[in-house]
Structure 1
C-alpha cells in the first residue's frame, strides 16, 4: 500500500474526487456519499436506555481482532470500534505515558480513495495548530497489518454520554460547551479545514471531572478547503447534516449548522429533526421542520 502515513503533496482534491468548475470562478468537489457513525439522543436514550453501542472488549495483546503491534508502543484494552478500525489504549514503552492508538486495518483500505482518506486525516491533524480543545496527534506509523495513529488519550468519555446521563443541559452549561465547539470550528476554518462530522460522539472529555476540557476528535471525514470553494459530496452523520450538504452545494458553513444542532440537543435532549428513517430526517432538514 505504500506509506499511508506520508503527508499528501497538497491540499487539493483527493483520489476519487473530481474538481470541476461551475462557472463564476467557483470550484466544486464531487464525490460519493460517506457517513460518520452516529448515535442520536432520543426520548428513550435520555431516559437511560443505551441500545446500539458495543461495550469495549479486551481480547489480550494478541487477540483475534488485534493488529500485531511491535516497537515503541504496547497495546492495551479496546477503547472503541469503528467502520475502518479499532482504538486501543496504548503505552509508550520508553516514557510509560498512555495514549490512544487508532489502528486502521489495511484489509479495510480497499481502494485508492480509502488510502487517500487516511493520508488526509493524518495531514489535517498535523496541519492544525496545537489547541486545548483539539485532540493532538503524537505519532503515526504502519506495519504489515494496519496503519496506526497514536493520539492524546481522553479518559472522560463522550459528550454524547453526558447528554444521555443528564437528559439535557442548563442554558449556562450548554453555552460553555457551545463556546468550546465554536472555538474549534473557528480554528479549523482559519486554517482551511472543514470538519464535516461534528456531533456529540466526536467530542471527548479529557478526564471524568465535571469541568474537564472538551476535545474534538475524528478528522476522518474532514477536508481542506480554499475560499470560495464549494463541495458536492454528501458526507457526515444524518442528524447533523446541513441542508446544503443534502443539496450538494456547500462550504465550511455546514460546520456551523452542525454546531447549532449540537446546541439544540444540549438544551432539549433530542435532535431538532426527527423521523423514523434517514430519508425522513433528510426531508425534515431540507424543509427546516424543527421539532420543538
Structure 2
C-alpha cells in the first residue's frame, strides 16, 4: 500500500508497530462503514450516483495498474467511507490478495470473492483485466441491486460466470439508459482482450457525462513522481538514491516491476525511447522534448540513460522520508568524517560524480539556514522534507544573493567566480483454492502490496 501512496481514494498507513506476537498496522480512520452497506440501504443507485462512485473505484484501479499492481479482490466490501453522510469519501482497502505484475505476463492462482471473479481467473490465466471485470460487476450491482451471475453455491456461481448470458433486459434494466448498459456490457466482455481498460472506462461517454468527469487529462503517478524529482536540488536527488539503495527488497518490488517493464532490452538502463513508450503505456502522452528533459534531470551520472538506482530514487514515494532511519542513513552517507555536519568539502566530494554542472556554493546556500558554512542534521532534514515550492523559493533567494556577491566581486576587479488451461471445478472444490473473503477483512490492516 505504501507503493500505491499518492491516491486520495486509497486508505493510508499511519504507522506500523511490532510486539512479540503481532505486527500492528495503524491505518487511516474510515468511520462511515462499507460501500456495501450503502448499496444495501439504497437498494440501487441512480445512474449519476453510480457513475460518480464508479469513477472513484476505477480511478483507484487505474492508479494500481499504472503502478504495476493488480488488486484481485475488488468488491463493495473493500471500499470504506471516511464518514457517514454525503460528505464521506470512498477509500479502497484490503490489498491482501494484490500482486505486482509485468505487462504481458499472466497470473494463475484462483483467488477473489465468488460473485466478482473474472472468467479468466477460473481458467487460471489472467492479468490486470480481471480487475475491470470485478468493477463491471460492482457497476451492475450499483444500477440494479444484485449481481449478474449468481447461484446457490460457489460452483453454481462459477458456472454462471463462465457461461450464463448477461441479463440487461429484466427490471430495472429497461429503464436504464443504453449508454449505461453499453458501459456494463463492455466491462463484462468475457474475452479480456475485448474488455475495456481502466482508462477507457474513465473515458466512456456515459461515465464522463454522468460522473462529472474532470476536463484535465489523467496523469499517472509515476510521471507525477518523476516531475517532482526533477524539481529537487541535486543534494536531495542524490540523498534519495542513498535511501533507495538501503530499502529492503519487499519495499522495492513494485518499483522493480515498473523498471523491468520499461527496460525493454534488459540492459538495466532506460533510454529516452523506452521511457517515452513506458509512460505512454501508462496513459501519459507527453512530448519527446519533455521526456528528454525528465531523463536528463534523473540521469545524475550523465550517461544519457536512467539506471536502476536513479529510477528508484525518482519514483519512490516521499513517505519514505518520514522514517528517521532513512534520513539518518542518507545524512551519514554525506558526513564522511562523522562530525555531525556535512562540510563544503564533503559536498564537493559527493557531487563529483554528478554530471549536471553542480554549483556547490549555491547548493550549500540553499540548505545551510544558519550560515555557518556547513549542513547539520536538522538543516538536512528540513531540506529533504521541504515542499517543491519551498525549495524553489530558497534556490531563488540563494541565486539572487550569489548574483549580488558576484557583482561586488567584479566591481573590485577580483578573479570572477566560475560557474487458458480449462476450468476444473472438481479440482477447485477438492483443493479449496478459492478464497472467499468475509466482509470483516475489509477492516483488517492487510497490506501485501506494501512497498
**Aligned pair 1:238/2:117, yes or no?**
no
Runs of 4+ in 1 over 4 A off after TM superposition: none
What is the RMSD of the two structures over their aligned residues, measured on CA atoms? 1.0
User: Distance in 1 between the 2:144 and 2:87 partners?
Assistant: 21
What is residue 250 of structure 1 aligned with on the other side?
126
Correspondence 1:275 to 2:123: no
Work out the CA distance in 2 between the residues paired with 1:271 and 1:152: 30
Q: CA deviation at 1:218?
A: 0.3
The SS at the match of 2:24 is strand
**TM-superposed deviation, 1:129:** 2.6
Cα deviation 1:1-47 (Å, max 9, x = unaligned): xxxxxxxxxxxxxxxxxxxxxxxxxxxxxxxxxxxxxxxxxxxxxxx
Q: CA deviation at 1:141?
A: 2.3
User: Is residue 2:73 matched to residue 1:184?
Assistant: no
Q: Could you tell me how far apart the structure 2 residues matched to 1:287 and 1:272 are?
A: 12
**Match of residue 13 from structure 2:** 137
Residues 32 and 81 of structure 2 are in contact (CA less than 8 Å); yes or no, is this contact kept in structure 1?
Answer: yes
Q: Is the 8 A contact 2:33 2:81 kept in 1?
A: yes
Q: 1:148: which partner in 2? A: 24
Match 2:140 to one of 264, 267, 270: 264
Shift of 1:203: 0.2
How many angstroms apart in 1 are the aligned matches of 2:107 and 2:115? Answer: 19
Looking at structure 1, the residues matched to 120 and 18 of structure 2 have their Cα atoms a distance apart, in angstroms, of 37
CA contact (8 A) 2:5 2:12 kept: no
Measure how far apart 1:211 and its partner are: 3.5
Residues matched between the structures, number: 168
Give the drift of 1:147.
1.4
Could you tell me the TM-score, scaled by structure 2's length?
A: 0.37
Greater Rg, structure 1 or structure 2?
2
State the distance in 2 between where 1:200 and 1:258 align. Answer: 10
SS in 1 for 2:5: coil
Q: TM (normalized to structure 1)? A: 0.56
CA offset digits 1:223-253 (Å, max 9, x no partner): 1111111011000000000001001000001
The structure where strand makes up a greater share of residues is 1
1:168 paired to 2:47: no
Greater percentage in helix: 2
Q: How does 1:215-230 map to 2 (within 5 A)?
A: 215-230=91-106
1:146 CA displacement: 1.2
1:149 CA drift (Å): 1.0
Counterpart-to-counterpart distance in 1, 2:42 and 2:78:
18
